[in-house]
Chains A and B, each alone.
Chain A
Amino acid sequence: MPNIHTLSALVKNRPRVLARVAGLFARREFNIESLAVSTTEDPAMSRMTIAVDVSGTPLEQVRKQLEKLHDVVTVMDHTDDAVVERELCLLKVEVPAEKRPEISALAEIFRGDIIDIGNGTLIVQCIGDTGKIDAFIANFREYGIIELVRTGKVLLARGHQKT
């Protein structure tokens, strides 16, 4: 059974910092479920939100190894914290014109948006936590998903707690 924990790492915005973190995970056989990297309020820093499967390696070891990297400033485990967590998913489905209202209604349930209409295709966008995105995708399966992409989750701790 996978045991997914979400770490938020504040890292220096330097060349190769992503390679260092990804390389560490690969070398020590830590399994990354998803990874999102972006700039932060401080241009010198980036934030990595890493969902990691710790069924094989204790989380503590993952965190300590990350903290050893010179470009990593802090690592927080937010698994049990009050956080806001979001992921974005785009999926493209094959839809004949007569079925568009049905798709539109389904998207509505997930507060999703149709953001592109092509020749017999639609791209639907959905934002939510991982569970919601999973449900969103599952419900669209029967319409024939042509392509799908999701960002991996990002999160911030609620209130004054640091992420």
Chain B
Amino acid sequence: MSDKMINGALGMLKVFEEENVDVIFGYPGGSVIPIYDKLYDSEIRDILPRHEQGAAHAADGYARSTGKVGVCMATSGPGALNLVTGLANAYMDSIPMVAITGQVKSHLVGKDSFQEADTTGVTLPITKHNYLVTNPDEFVDICREAFYLARNDRPGPILIDIPFDISLGDVAWTDRDIKRLDCYEEPKPVDDELIRRAAEMIAQAEKPILMIGGGIIASGASERLFELATKCNIGVVHTLMGKGAFPETHELSMGMPGMHGMAYAALALQNSDLMIVIGARFDDRITGDLQKFAPEAKVIHIDIDAAELDKIRPTQLAICADAGDALDKLVPACKPRDKGPWEDQLFAWRKQHPLTYSMPDEGIAPQYIVEQLYDITGGDAIVATEVGQNQMWAAQYYKLDKPRRFLSSGGLGTMGYGFPAAIGAQIGNPDALVVDIAGDGSIQMNQQELTTAVINKLPVKVIILDNGYLGMVRQWQEMFFDNRLSGVDLTGNPDFVLMAEAHGGVGLRCADPDKVRDTLQQALEVTDKPVFVDFLVSKEENVFPFIPAGKGVDDIMFD
């Protein structure tokens, strides 16, 4: 080890600078005071949320929208535990994050000390890896490893639990040498033989379809995917996590399949003879009943995580590789292919089964609001969502042509994710238009972050599709539980306009379909503070199409 010593907190912040960290979303407390003390003199911006969960989701939204590693921080015990949902959320969606938690002094660990929790124990199954720092000689390299692991291979959240004495005292400083790190691995070249076989299978297929997921976005492979799809004229369906990886306005975009996806996307998969799946993992919300899912299709599965290959759907060809690396080789290996009868069929399905809704007698159609938002913003916003009906309508009606524009809790389905994620995205993209499509239930889960947005002058637009219900649960109760509405009535909601104003933001309300565009326009004009727009929508609108859980495409319901 080196004989150079440095203060622990300072050493950590120096590694952050090496890693180009420009912002930390953190909440102080006793055991991280040494870190906050050094942050006082640092160039790194610190954003103070109003709850640690907000910090974790903001770091996640920052990471999704910028492609950089998001950093959040909390104190020991309750602070660290409040990060848990955010870490699990990032883990499920493979989002690169580094979480710093304070821990009680080393000699007090394991003694049930004040504000002590077993943070590494609790977060063990919801982080890609975590560390409890016990040796000051290792601390600096642990910080470097955390960033390396967060962004390399399949990305994910890494947590470092730092006892008070480590950040307060001196630790060994080593010069940066990534290849020396314990976790370093030489990049593995993509197997040429597998690529050759993939190209052959594509050439032989009569009814090929691409299914792409978040792996394309994580890899930054959108352009290469575009080349493959357009060179071979293969239709592209995207998962929720893959939204924006391929331009949704392109002729070859066949929409999102799954429980609330487009019928034409489901039909495209179902009738294909070859699924080329890249950076997606056959989630149950996509496949429904596995036995009935695209039974005729052969599968080429490209994923960076070997454990995803043959986990759910057996493959005919599995390629363990980064999506971009694989596409680099696959695009030139494939012969150009013209559109044929299969593509005509795909486009015909798209024409036959467009997304539809009708204007309700009372209240505004929530789909109409998202459609108008899309129209007014020219599809050029960063769109965060909460979870539930709002999320599905956002995925259905706000088309995106670029990656890193859709911030949604795909795997974990975390209500309360969207608003803090939008805050993180706005900080990472100060000039972008950032919108959170929310429900009246979800927005109340992290509404405290209004203060964070106001103080930091973040013009995040929160579009509340306010139906006075926990809408998705109400929909299931209506359809599968004899409409016995239990625990879903949100009567007694706060006045969202007053709430925004009480925090120093802007509050708007709209109950008239004819005023939707004007209201949205008004919201978009605000540039220095958050806006809550309370849209009073039709109370009992349901999300369609709908393939009930565990069913197949034949069971699709259109209304």
Q: What is A's interface to B at a CB cutoff of 8 Å? A: 15-16, 19-20, 23-24, 27, 58, 60-61, 64-65, 67-68, 70
What total count of A-B pairs have CB within 8 Å? Answer: 31
Question: A67 — which chain B residues lie within 8 A by C-beta?
Answer: 306-307
The interface residues of chain A lying within 8 Å CB-to-CB of B310 are 58, 60-61
B132 (CB) vs chain A CBs: closest residue: A15
Dominant SS among interface residues on chain A:
helix
Least Cβ–Cβ distance between B554 and chain A, in angstroms: 28
CB pair B311–A61 under 8 Å, yes or no, is yes
In the bound complex, do residue B183 and residue A70 qualify as a contact, i.e. CB atoms below 8 Å apart? yes
- Are A20 and B124 neighbours in the complex by a CB distance under 8 Å? yes
| Minimum Cβ distance to chain B for residue A47 (Å) | 18
Query: Could you tell me the distance in whole angstroms from the C-beta of B84 to the nearest C-beta in chain A?
Result: 15
Which A residues are CB-close (under 8 A) to B149?
70
Q: Is A15 in contact with B307, judged by CB distance below 8 angstroms?
A: no
Nearest CB of A to B170, in Å: 22
A81 to chain B minimum Cβ distance, whole angstroms, is 22
In the complex, the answer to whether B125 meets A27 with C-beta atoms within 8 Å is: yes
- Pairwise interchain contact A23-B307, C-beta atoms closer than 8 A: no
CA distance A19 to B124 in the complex (A): 9
B497 to chain A, nearest CB (A): 44
Contact assessment for B307 and A61 in the assembled complex, using a CB-CB cutoff below 8 Å: yes
Residues of B within 8 A of A65 (CB): 307
In the complex, B128 has a CB within 8 A of chain A: yes
Pairwise interchain contact B121-A19, C-beta atoms closer than 8 A: yes
Could you tell me if B183 and A64 are in contact, using CB atoms closer than 8 angstroms? no
Q: Are B134 and A15 in contact (CB under 8 A)?
A: yes
Interface centre among A20, A23, A70 (most CB of B within 10 A): A70
Q: Enumerate chain A residues within 8 angstroms of B457, measured Cβ to Cβ.
A: none
By DSSP majority rule, is chain B's interface helix, strand, loop, or mixed? mixed
B129 contacts partner chain A, Cβ-Cβ < 8 Å: yes
Q: What residues of chain A lie closer than 8 Å to B120, measured between beta carbons?
A: 16
We find that the number of chain B residues with CB closer than 8 angstroms to chain A is 16
**Additional A-B contact list (17), CB under 8 Å, known A16-B124, A68-B305, A68-B306:** A15-B132, A16-B121, A16-B132, A19-B124, A23-B124, A23-B125, A58-B310, A60-B310, A61-B310, A64-B306, A64-B309, A65-B307, A68-B307, A70-B128, A70-B129, A70-B149, A70-B183
**Closest B residue, CB atoms, query A57:** B311
A15 CA to B109 CA in the complex, in Å? 14
State whether B307 touches A64 (Cβ < 8 A): yes
Q: How far is the CB of B282 from chain A (nearest CB, A)?
A: 13
Q: How far is the CA of A107 from the CA of B556 in the complex (A)?
A: 67
- A58: chain B residues within 8 A (beta carbon): 310
C-alpha gap A132/B177 in the complex (Å): 52
Q: Bound complex: CA of A42 vs CA of B496, how far in Å?
A: 62
List 10 contacting pairs A-B, 8 Å CB cutoff, sorted by A. A15-B132, A16-B124, A16-B132, A23-B125, A58-B310, A60-B310, A61-B310, A61-B311, A68-B305, A70-B128
Query: CA–CA, A60 to B311, complex, Å?
Result: 9
Point out the residues of chain B lying under 8 angstroms from A23, CB to CB. 124-125
CA gap between A70 and B305 in the complex, in Å: 13
What A residues does B128 contact at CB under 8 A?
A: 70
Minimum CB–CB distance from A10 to chain B (whole Å) comes to: 14
- When C-beta atoms are compared, the residue in chain A nearest to B121 turns out to be A19
Residues in A with CB closer than 8 Å to B305 are: 68
Interface string of B302-329 (1 = CB under 8 A from A): 0001110111000000000000000000
Chain B residues within an 8 Å CB radius of A24 = 125
* B154 → chain A closest CB, angstroms: 8
- A60: B residues at CB distance < 8 A: 310
- Chain A proximity of B126: nearest CB distance (Å): 10
